[in-house]
A and B are shown apart, each in its own frame.
Chain A
Amino acid sequence: KAGVTQTPRYLIKTRGQQVTLSCSPISGHRSVSWYQQTPGQGLQFLFEYFSETQRNKGNFPGRFSGRQFSNSRSEMNVSTLELGDSALYLCASSLAGLYEQYFGPGTRLTVT
């Protein structure tokens, strides 16, 4: 069974631009969560989608948004990028909310 895939693996953007990251969950998994990992703040929860609905949201500004499609694939978007948005963005999928989560390799975003 294929694991969680994330594209692209690496991105370099300029301050003020916007970016879209993609996550394909394990086949059959309906829950997708997103996390931001930085050296200073560690791993922080962004949001979770289940059956195309946002079910939970972390403490991030409205510039961070996401969506989930009917095939459970998910995208997250960051608008008006800031230098502090440079991070590893991890996506995780699970069968449903209370089951084990499986993480993808992440997308490394660098904002210059």
Chain B
Amino acid sequence: GDSVTQMEGPVTLSEEAFLTINCTYTATGYPSLFWYVQYPGEGLQLLLKATKADDKGSNKGFEATYRKETTSFHLEKGSVQVSDSAVYFCALSDPGANSKLTFGKGITLSVRP
């Protein structure tokens, strides 16, 4: 079945550092890929998405490119801020599974001033 693997965490960075969070997936079809962010005590917010190979999703300085050849969707940001401290989830949606999202385990990012 479908699965998403995220790098182990937590991750602690200094403000203005470069961020990469790795995500790889396994899917039978051609899934859509997502990054969600969860701030303490809140639900999930969609950060960015990509629906086909080579698409690049971007939002709030974050970017991720759908790489079909490596089945990856790594999240990057050039300069993190303290306000980016949160839990980040990579997820996929298989077109044949309607709304079902399959999530990775999530990774906690802490950014120090």
Contacts and interface: CB of A to CB of B under 8 A. Distances in A.
- 9 cross-chain pairs, A with B, having the tightest CB-CB distances, nearest first: A97-B98, A103-B43, A43-B103, A103-B44, A105-B43, A48-B99, A97-B99, A33-B99, A42-B105
Nearest to A59: B1
- Chain A contact residues, majority secondary structure: strand
Interface residues of A, number: 25
Chain B interface size range: 20 to 34
Interface of B: 32, 36, 41-46, 49, 89, 91, 93, 95, 97-106
Contacts, number: 61
Given A42-B106, A43-B89, A48 B100 contact: yes
Contacts of B41: 105
A50 B42 CA distance: 25
A31 interface: yes
A98 interface: yes
